[in-house]
Amino acid sequence: MRARPQRLERLPEQYFGALLARVAAAAALDGEPLVDLGRGNPETGPPQHVIAALVRGAGGPSAHGYAPFRGLPELREAIAARYRDVYGVELDPVHEVAVVPGTKTAIVELALVLAERGDTIVLPDPYYPDYPSGVALAGARLGTVPLERDAGWAPDFEQAPREDIAAVYLNYPSNPCAVAAPDGAFEDAVGFARETGCAIVHDFAYGDLVFDGRSPQSFLATDGAKEVGVEMFSMSKSYGMAGWRLGFVVGNADVVERINLLSDHARVGIFRPIQDAGIAALEGPQASVAERAATYERRRDRVLRELPFASPSEGTFYVWLELPDGVTVETILAAARVALSPREAFGSRGAGWARLTLAGPDETLERGLDRLARVFP
C-alpha cells in the first residue's frame, strides 16, 4: 500500500482526543479521584420536548429513508426565524442557510470551500484548537491575528497578514478567552474583508451563553457582514444537543452554496428525526436557553470569587485563567489532581493561561475549586 496522502500528514494532533487520553492516564494513577475541569462537555441535555420530537420522528414512516440533501425546509425556516427574532438578522432560508452535521464539520469544510492550496487562512490567537485542522486539509498557510488583552481580546488587524488571504476565523463569545465581542470588532472585521477580499467566518457556537445582562450579538447584524462572510450556529451549546451533530452555516449566499455543493457530494443529508428535534428546539419553549446561561453565570461567579486572578468571563461556559508564575497545568494536575485545558492548545498567545470549564455538575466544580486552593493560596 502506498504511503498516506500528505493531507493527512499535515494534520495537527487532534487536541481533544489527546486531552481525553491524558486525563484518562492521569486518572488511572494512584491517588484521590481526578477532577476534570478541562473538557467542555455539557452535562445537561436538551429539554424534554426536544427528546420527545426525536422519539416521535424515529418511529415515523419517513424516518429511515434519505432526508433531503440540503436539510428539511422547515428546519432552515426555523433557524431563519430565530435569527430574525433573537439576533435581528434577516436570512433567506433557501439561499442563506446550510444545514451541517455539527459546526465542527463546518470548521473544516469552510476552509476547503474558501481556500486554494497556498492561500492563507487567518485564525485568532488564542484560537479554538480544531481550527488548524481545516487549514491543514485545505493545504493553506496558517496566519494569525492577535487578540489583545488590553483591548478586551479584540482582534488587532494591523498585525494580521494581508497577502493571499482567503478567510479570517473569529469566535465571540470567545473560546477560550470567554469574552463577548468587543466594541468595533465586527466592524473592523468587515473592513478588513473589504480591504483584502477575504471571507469572514464567525463561530457563534456560544452566542446565547452571555452573562451580566448582555444580549446575544451576531456578526451578521453588522452592516455589510452578509456581503463578506458567514456565521456558524451550533445546536450543542444553546440547547444542550452536544453529540447530536446538528448545526448551520448562515449568511453570504455564495459561501452557503459552496457548503451545500460540497455536502451534495460528501454526504446524503442528516437523519430526519434529528432535524425534527432541531425544529422542536428552535420553535418550542425557549426557557431552557436562558436557564442554561444563568447556570453557567452562577458557576462563573463562584469561580471568580475563589480564583481572583481569573480573567473576567462574559460568556461561554469557560473561565480563562492567567496562571501565577511557576504554576502550570502539569503542576496543578500533580499537586491537586485537577485537569485543566493547557495553554499550548490555544495558540502562541495561550502561553501562561489555562481554560477551566463550567459545564460539569456543581459538585465537580466545587471539588475542583477546593483542590485548587492547594495550588493557589
Average pLDDT for consecutive 10-residue bins of the chain (377 residues)?
Answer: 89 71 68 86 91 95 89 98 98 98 96 97 95 96 94 95 96 96 97 98 98 98 98 97 96 98 92 97 97 97 89 94 87 90 81 91 95 82
How far, in Å, CA of 305 to CA of 319, rounded? 12
Q: Find cell 468571563 and name the residue.
A: 313
The pLDDT value recorded for residue 19 is 65
The pLDDT value recorded for residue 17 is 66
The pLDDT value recorded for residue 27 is 63
In which region does residue 245 sit, left (phi positive, over 0), alpha (psi from -120 to 50) or beta (all else)?
A: left
Name which of 209, 201, 211 is nearest 232 in CA terms. 201
**206: its cell numbers:** 456560544
Q: For residue 233, what are the β-bridge partners?
A: 248
Helix-then-strand count for the chain, H and E = 14, 13
Our CA angle for 21, 311, 38, nearest 5°, is 15
Whether the link from the prior residue into 46 is cis, omega within 30° of 0, is no
Q: For residue 168, what are the β-bridge partners?
A: 122, 200
pLDDT tens profile 91-136: 999 999 999 999 999 999 999 999 999 999 999 999 999 999 999 9
Enumerate residues 6+ apart whose C-beta is below 8 A from 363: none
Strands (E), the chain: 35-36, 97-100, 120-125, 141-148, 154-155, 165-171, 199-203, 229-234, 247-251, 318-322, 338-339, 341-342, 353-357
Q: Find cell 494581508 and name the residue.
A: 162
The pLDDT value recorded for residue 267 is 87
The pLDDT value recorded for residue 350 is 79
How far, in Å, CA of 249 to CA of 232, rounded? 5
Answer whether 26's CB lies under 8 Å from 339's CB. Answer: yes
How far, in Å, CA of 319 to CA of 304, rounded? 8
Instruction: Burial-class residue 4 by CB neighbours within 10 Å (0-12, 13-18, 19+).
Output: exposed
The pLDDT value recorded for residue 228 is 98
Q: Between β-strands 247-251 and 141-148, what pairing exists: parallel, antiparallel or unpaired?
A: unpaired
What pTM does this model have?
0.95
